[in-house]
Chain A
């Protein structure tokens, strides 16, 4: 039996996985950094009051 050439579909699947997964990691990291900066700002405002 001839095995069909489905390599492109396999590659597409792993690219989708990698982009979504690592994209989510970057999203979490950016959210974390943003919240940290906000916390720092608020602490400074609180200390100045």
Chain B
């Protein structure tokens, strides 16, 4: 087994500390929001996981462009790793949002612009993972993946701006929300600090997971090559 690089070990430790601190900051340090109560504490992880989810999808699209340009399979591995981790984080963001919505909006789910575009975004990238599996040839698979993530990437800014350009009940964190927004709250300075810290913590955790996932990808391709060698 290849041992982990020292920088990755440091990142592991930093990520564990940051995750523990993010739990503490959102559950204990952040003040109680008077109108919504304890459920508002989901906000910090909801925003942070949605953020890293979207960053990963954008990274996948950038890696897709790089593959089409350089034709190097490492860019395909980067795309795949970014999408897989982003799907996990974005799934968490959607579920946390749904749980938050139940006591505030009175429903687990409603087909309003942000929720609809987020669900479509998640489906697009789930389909990416499934469709890739049907392509045997690595070059063809990488080309398909690159074009797919590039086109899929369009839905990322659309999801982000959906609450700003359409009538939506989803609150807007940065900037003014629409008149229909339900569940908005004025953020105390401490809340802003916790939100920014959570975003930072999850960004570092994303980098750590991404590195691990890349190592897994290269082990997978080593095993594939060995299999081919043994079969010959």
Contact = CB atoms under 8 A, between A and B. Distances in A.
Nearest to B89: A21
B103 A6 contact: yes
Nearest to B228: A42
Interface string B8-41: 0000000000000001000100001011111111
Given A16-B99, A49-B230, A10 B220 contact: no
B223 A39 contact: yes
Given A6-B103, A39-B226, A13 B45 contact: yes
Given A14-B45, A35-B219, A36-B1, A6 B38 contact: yes
Interface residues of B, number: 38
Contacts of A38: 223
Interface residues of A, number: 28
B187 interface: no
A26 to B, nearest CB: 12
Interface of B: 1, 23, 27, 32, 34-42, 45-46, 49, 88, 91-92, 95-96, 99-100, 102-103, 209, 212-213, 215-216, 219-220, 222-223, 226-227, 229-230
